[in-house]
Amino acid sequence: MHSLTDRVVIVTGGSRGIGRATAIAAAGRGFRVVVGYASNAAAAGEVVAKIEASNGKAIAVKCDVGSEDDIIALFKAADAFGTLGALVNNAGIVGPTSRVDEMSAERIQRMMAVNVTGSILCAREAVKRMSTRHGGNGGVIINLSSVAAKLGSPNTYVDYAASKGAIDSFTVGLGHEVAGEGIRVAAIRPGLIDTEIHASGGEPDRAHRLSHMVPMKRVGTADEIANAIVWLLSDEASYVTSAILDVSGGR
């Protein structure tokens, strides 16, 4: 257990899967953790309880990153909790397996509102607080992309893949923009990870069903992604920015 600091990390979508694992790992590194969650208050509360049981500090804040008002409220709650030092833009959604010629405008707009606009707005609020240009002490922003950005996810969810392609571009551009202001920006591109997101897309066994396509012949775990994220958050990654790290078993 690293010594607790007043540095706060916000983890959006922190109640389950990669977000949950990241929140717990970041607490282990000494961060105070703000667990953002869209709907499952019980799951978010369990993450907070687990962190506090290990003498960490955490709070849960309801936030649909598809809503600008929710995002602003999330960051205000973080302000009252300590000095913001990091943001993990983890919240994201997938839709049911579909071809593009079957997709509704509403589905695509919701996908982009959560996965792209939400991440950009969260980063905006983080930069306002962390940038030396705004009187901040610097910090780190980690965006969650996906190997789907490279593969395109045909016949599955091209719209999700496109949203993650946008995250890749955003990571590079924002990283350059704030590199001289004490903020590092990086992204993680997970491959097939054993989390609940596939169930929300209607295919709970998708990761295991496709594991034969991974060079390592297995799916990854949420903890394996979290370990990469907390390394990027740490001073060990002090010269890493505008970088995208594949954590995909070689996929």
Q: Is the pLDDT of residue 243 over 50?
A: yes
Of 37, 157, 160, 239, which is the active-site residue? 160
Question: What is residue 203's predicted lDDT score, i.e. its pLDDT?
Answer: 73
Query: Is the Cβ–Cβ distance between 97 and 148 less than 8 Å?
Result: no
Looking at the chain, the whole-number percentage of residues with pLDDT higher than 70 is: 95
Contacts of 30 (CB under 8 A, 6+ apart): 1, 2, 3, 4, 5, 7
Question: What is residue 139's predicted lDDT score, i.e. its pLDDT?
Answer: 98
Q: Any idea what DSSP says for residue 115? A: I
Q: Where are the domains of the chain?
A: 7-191+221-247
Query: Is the Cβ–Cβ distance between 192 and 219 less than 8 Å?
Result: yes
Average pLDDT (15-26) is: 97
SS3 84: strand
Question: What is residue 205's predicted lDDT score, i.e. its pLDDT?
Answer: 79
Q: What is the pLDDT of residues 188-203, one digit of tens each?
A: 999 999 887 666 666 7
Q: Count Cβ atoms within 10 A of the Cβ of residue 38 and give its class: 0-12 exposed, 13-18 middle, 19 or more buried.
A: buried
Average pLDDT (138-154) is: 97
Question: What is residue 122's predicted lDDT score, i.e. its pLDDT?
Answer: 99
Q: pLDDT grade, residue 3 (50/70/90)?
A: low
Q: Long-range contacts: 154-159, Cβ < 8 Å, 24+?
A: 155/97, 155/99, 156/97, 156/98, 157/94, 157/95, 157/97, 157/98, 157/201, 158/99, 158/100, 159/95, 159/100, 159/103, 159/107, 159/108, 159/111, 159/112
Contacts of 214 (CB under 8 A, 6+ apart): 191, 192, 248, 249, 250, 251
Contacts of 134 (CB under 8 A, 6+ apart): 127, 128
Retrieve residue 62's tokens: 């309801």
Question: What is residue 209's predicted lDDT score, i.e. its pLDDT?
Answer: 85
Q: What is the pLDDT of residues 30-86, one digit of tens each?
A: 999 999 999 999 999 999 999 999 999 999 999 999 999 999 999 999 999 999 999
Q: pLDDT grade, residue 208 (50/70/90)?
A: confident
Q: Residue 58 — left, alpha, or beta (φ > 0 → left; ψ -120 to 50 → alpha)? A: beta
Q: pLDDT grade, residue 1 (50/70/90)?
A: very low
Beta-sheet strands, E only, within the chain: 7-11, 32-37, 58-62, 83-89, 139-144, 183-190, 243-247
SS3 169: helix
160 in catalytic set: yes
Query: In whole angstroms, what is the distance from residue 162 CA to residue 144 CA?
Result: 13
Query: Is the Cβ–Cβ distance between 95 and 156 less than 8 Å?
Result: no
Strands 139-144 and 32-37: unpaired
Query: In whole angstroms, what is the distance from residue 137 CA to residue 206 CA?
Result: 42
Q: Average pLDDT of the chain?
A: 95
Question: What is residue 7's predicted lDDT score, i.e. its pLDDT?
Answer: 94
Q: What is the pLDDT of residues 83-117, one digit of tens each?
A: 999 999 999 999 999 999 999 999 999 999 999 99
Annotation: CATH topology of 7-191+221-247: Rossmann fold (3.40.50)
